[in-house]
Amino acid sequence: MIKKHLQELTEKSVGLMSVFSSAIRNKSMEIISIFAAILLWEIIAVYFVQNKFFLPSFTDVTFAFVDVLSRDAQLSILGIDFQFPVLVMDILARFGIITGPDIRLPVLVIDLIYSLMHFLIGLVSALLIGIPVGMIMGWFRTIDRLVDPLIEIIRPIPPLAWIPFAIIWIGLNPFAAGFVIFIGAVFPIIINTFTGFKSVSRVYVEAAKVLGCNKDHELIRYVALPSALPSIAAGIRIAMGVGWMCLVAAEMFGVSRYGLGYKIWHHYYLHNMDLVLVYMIILGFLGLLIDRLLRYYIDGRLLKWRKGVVI
Amino acid sequence: MGMVKVRNVSRRFVKDKDTSTLALDNVSLEIDDKEFVCFIGPSGCGKTTLLRIMSGLDLPDEGEVYLDGKVIKGPGPDRGMVFQEYSLFPWKTVTDNVIFGPVMRGIKKKDALVDAEKYLELVGLTQFRNSYPYELSGGMKQRVAIARALANEPSVLLMDEPFGALDAQTRNILQQELLEIWQKKNITILFVTHSVDEAVFLADKIVLMSARPGKIKEIIPVEFPRPRERTSLETNVLRDRILKTLIKEQTK
């Protein structure tokens, strides 16, 4: 009895092990590539460059990373100091987790919150303005002719060129950074929504008309919008990429005391090049993560009727 | 009721100042309630244009089309349509496609879903109710398209080469199924086709059209009893006659 049970258990664990090892084997090339790059970096930094300022090594960066994680600061956004609700504070204080009512978080986490805030301000406003504008331009020919020349003139201006006006119009606050990200993100959204609406297949519109869906707003809502969704989703992905690129520059001119992009500049002034590299790597990973999450959501939920088609 | 009357309809497509085609030239036609009429003719004879005018998707330059005495001014749920291209909304499941028309007319979704089941049963696709169109074969897509058109309870079903893109076997099966549906639902069916075989198998009346300008050349009543034999002598004699007329039209 026990023997049999043990045998089952070993079989199970062997099964689990083989899943792990097969995953490692399947991804072996990728894993080797990353480890080799890290090793090469470490060797070059330690033995050849031998200058922490010029090229911090992998170990320097790891220690710097632990450092920014271990230092904490008060979470305050737009001048508001965040505090725990009294009830939560009582419970946490009883267990000795906190000593005061202030919400204190690792510096890196606060930087992250600030950057995501800037990013979301820009992206959400770009979605709120870009999608309706693209829809109306795609559906009504006259409006397209009126608006298109303006867009074509404004669009080639690099988003970063708007920074002076962003400061003058909005001031040194998170919304100025959001504005720069908005400029970067809104055009891909407008153009892809427009293209999606322009390429709605005629047969879908006619089928809807024959079925009794005749008014413009109904056709837009029930036919054009779902049909254009793959194109809009692709636009949002491009917009998020461009917006993420604008984030660093938008934060560099000092709209907030925190933020991943701001900290790159800040630590450069302090000659903490290892920290500069920490924030650079985090920006890279975060951009990747956001893109993957969006892709997972769009392909798995919104566009599951399009299986097998790659966007 | 599904009585269609086409009176002196002309339609000209203008490309620019100098080039224009007369797609339909003074066409008149009467179709009885519950009749199965096939339109056949060389390509460019305006058979699809005539069907689109009857659906309301296109408007005639001159003349009118009446349905049960009322002039057709635009698309409406009293006329269902099945297109040659696959026209199911790819972002909706089979059921959601079928209830689209009823929901647009303001019927409660709950009631529309009950009805949808009935129409899916009619075309034999109940087990695919939650599939997306990309999961269906061409024949199944057109079956759903028929169910979707019927869900609006139209008095006239307009079909524009609906089986044109299907393979020969599937097409034969769908023709048989369509006849059964037509007999069950008691509606008028106007069916555009380029296949003489299809027309002779399906129609009560074949409208033979000639090209440039599009005119009705001949109306041939088909009085063979149903179910019809595809290869009987009388069928072949009629097919032969129509084919010869078509060839003459095409080389004109």
Between residues A94 and A296, which one has the greater pLDDT? A296
For A46-61, write each residue's pLDDT tens digit: 999 888 889 999 999 9
- Choosing among A205, A211, A303, A305, which should be mutated to test the B contact, i.e. which has the most B CBs within 10 A? A211
For A115-135, write each residue's pLDDT tens digit: 999 999 999 999 999 999 999
What confidence score (pLDDT) does residue A57 get?
A: 92
Residue A82 half-sphere exposure, CB side, CA atoms within 13 Å?
11
- The residue assigned the tokens 């696709």 is B125
Instruction: Look up the pTM and report it.
Output: 0.81
What confidence score (pLDDT) does residue A311 get?
A: 41
User: What is the C-alpha separation between A157 and A285, in angstroms, rounded?
Assistant: 28
- Give residues 195 to 234 of A whose Cβ lies within 8 Å of B: 203-204, 206-214, 218, 222-223, 226-227, 229
Instruction: Reply yes or no on whether the pLDDT at B248 is more than 90.
Output: no
Integer distance in angstroms from the first to the last C-alpha of chain A?
A: 55
For residue A287, give the nearest of A253, A243, A232, A254 by alpha carbon: A243
For B14-29, write each residue's pLDDT tens digit: 888 788 888 888 899 9
- Nearest-Cα distance to chain A for B204, in Å, is 25
What confidence score (pLDDT) does residue A9 get?
A: 62
Instruction: Reply yes or no on whether the pLDDT at A24 is more than 90.
Output: no
Query: ipTM, 2 decimals?
Result: 0.91
H/E stretch holding A275: helix A273-297
For B152-205, write each residue's pLDDT tens digit: 999 999 999 999 888 999 999 999 999 999 998 889 999 999 999 999 999 999
For residue B64, give the nearest of B112, B107, B96, B27 by alpha carbon: B27
For residue A121, give the nearest of A76, A74, A186, A73 by alpha carbon: A186
Helix (H, G, I), strand (E, B) or coil at B92: coil
Using the beta-carbon criterion (under 8 Å), do A307 and B148 form an inter-chain contact?
no
B20-31 and B215-221 beta bridge pairing: unpaired
B105 contact partners, CB below 8 Å, separation of at least 6: A212, B77, B152
Instruction: Reply yes or no on whether the pLDDT at A98 is more than 80.
Output: no
User: What is the C-alpha separation between A253 and B89, in angstroms, rounded?
Assistant: 49
Using the beta-carbon criterion (under 8 Å), do B148 and A226 form an inter-chain contact?
no
Q: How confident is the model at residue B144 (pLDDT cuts 50, 70, 90)?
A: very high
- Nearest-Cα distance to chain A for B105, in Å, is 7
For A259-306, write each residue's pLDDT tens digit: 899 999 999 999 989 999 999 999 999 989 988 888 888 877 777 777
Of all residues in chain A, the one with the smallest CA distance to B57 is A206
Which residues in chain A are contacts of B132 at CB distance < 8 A? Answer: 304-305, 307
| Average pLDDT score over chain B | 91
> How many beta carbons lie within 10 A of that of residue B77, not counting itself?
19
- Choosing among B104, B105, B132, B190, which should be mutated to test the A contact, i.e. which has the most A CBs within 10 A? B104
Instruction: Give how far Cα A227 sits from Cα of A196, A204, A295, B22, B147, Å.
Output: 7, 9, 18, 34, 22
Average pLDDT over residues A28-36: 90
Instruction: Reply yes or no on whether the pLDDT at A172 is more than 80.
Output: yes
A238 touches chain B (CB under 8 A): no
Q: How confident is the model at residue A194 (pLDDT cuts 50, 70, 90)?
A: very high
What confidence score (pLDDT) does residue A130 get?
A: 95
